[in-house]
Amino acid sequence: MCYLTGRKISNTEFQELMELAERMGFLSDELAIYKGFDYNTYPVIRAQNGKTETDIVKMQWGFLPPYLKTRDDVKRFRFGYKDDTGKYNKPYTTLNATSEELLSKMYKDAALKRRCLVPVNFFYEWMHVTVVGKSGKLLKTPEKFPYVISMRNKEEFYLAGIWQPWFDTESKITTNTFAIVTTTANSLMKQIHNSKERMPTILAGDLSEAWLYNDLTDQEILDIANYQVASADMIATPLDKDFLKKARPHERAVYNEVPELVY
C-alpha cells in the first residue's frame, strides 16, 4: 500500500508547515515526508472550470464517505470503537483505494466524478525479510527494511487519486478528503512490497490527463487505475530503519540480509 509520501518543498512551504504545526514524518527546508495515519493535509491537483483547467487544493489524506455525519463518527471510522455490547468494531483505512474497490459503493461516485492527481517526488515501502536470529535459527517474524522509490527520469510524478468533500453536520464545515489509488505491484515492487504486492498507480502524460479531465467509462477507469509503470523507470534505494529520525533520511543503507533488487 502507500501510506508514506515525500515532496521536495520550497522555503515558503516549509514555513507554512512549521506554522501549521502538523505532525510530519520528517520536515526540513527541502523535504517533507507525510505520514498517512497522521491525516494531514496534502496538495492535490483537481480539474476545474468544466474540466479544462486545474487547481491545487490542500485536502486531508484519508477518504471520508458522506454517510459519516460528525467528528465522532470520523473518529470511530478511522480508529475503531467498542459498541454497547462491548464488541470491538475494526477501523477503516481509506488512505488508499485499491483499484479493485474503485467502483464499489464507498468510492464509486468519486471515481466517476472526482478524480485527482497527487504530486510526489518519492514514496516509501518496506521489504519483509526472514532473517537469522542470535540463536542461529530463522526468526518467525520477518524484519522490515525501508526503501524510498522515485522515478528515473522525472523529479516529480503523479499518483492517481479520488477525492470526496465531507460535511460535518455539527460545525457546518466541509473538508475535502482524498485517497491514493493502488494497483498490483510490478516486478520491482513485488520484490520490495513483498508482503502485499501492491503499489500506487503512477500516471504520466496522456494517462494523467485522461484521469483528470475525461469522462471515462467504468472500464476505462479500471484500466487506468490498474496501470503499472515499468520497473525500469523506477529507482529504489534502501534506507536506514530509522530514516525518519536522520538528518539525511534518503542516505543509502547497506544490508547483508536483503537480496539485491532485479529491475
Q: Is residue 107 part of a domain?
A: yes
The answer to whether residue 257 is domain-embedded is no
**Cβ atoms 117, 211 nearer than 8 A:** yes
Query: What's the pLDDT at 52?
Result: 74
Q: Is 44 within the bounds of a domain?
A: yes
Domain count, the chain: 1
Q: Residue 52 is part of a domain; what is its CATH number?
A: 3.90.1680.10
Tell me whether residue 256 is in a domain.
no
User: How many Cβ atoms from other residues are within 10 Å of residue 179's Cβ?
Assistant: 31
Q: What is the chain's pLDDT, residue by residue, as a tens digit (263 residues)?
A: 799 999 999 999 999 898 876 789 999 999 999 999 999 999 999 998 766 789 999 999 999 999 999 999 999 999 999 999 999 999 999 999 999 999 988 999 999 999 999 999 999 999 999 876 666 667 678 899 999 999 999 999 999 999 999 999 999 999 999 999 999 999 999 999 999 999 999 998 899 999 999 899 999 999 999 999 999 999 999 999 999 999 999 999 999 889 899 98
Residue 105's pLDDT is what?
87
Q: What is the pLDDT of residue 51?
A: 67
Residue 17 domain flag = yes
CB 203 within 8 A of CB 99: no
Look at residue 258 and tell me if it is in a domain: no
Q: Quick check: is 63 in a domain?
A: yes
User: 74 is in which domain, residue-wise?
Assistant: 4-245
Output the CA–CA distances (angstroms, integers) from residue 78 to 30, 39, 73, 81, 91, in the order listed: 31, 10, 9, 9, 5
Query: How far apart are the two ends of the chain, measured CA to CA in Å?
Result: 20
Which residues lie closer than 8 Å to 106 by C-beta, 6 or more apart?
63, 65, 94
- Would you say residue 95 lies in a domain? yes
Q: What is the pLDDT of residues 25-68, one digit of tens each?
A: 999 999 999 999 999 999 999 998 766 789 999 999 999 999 99
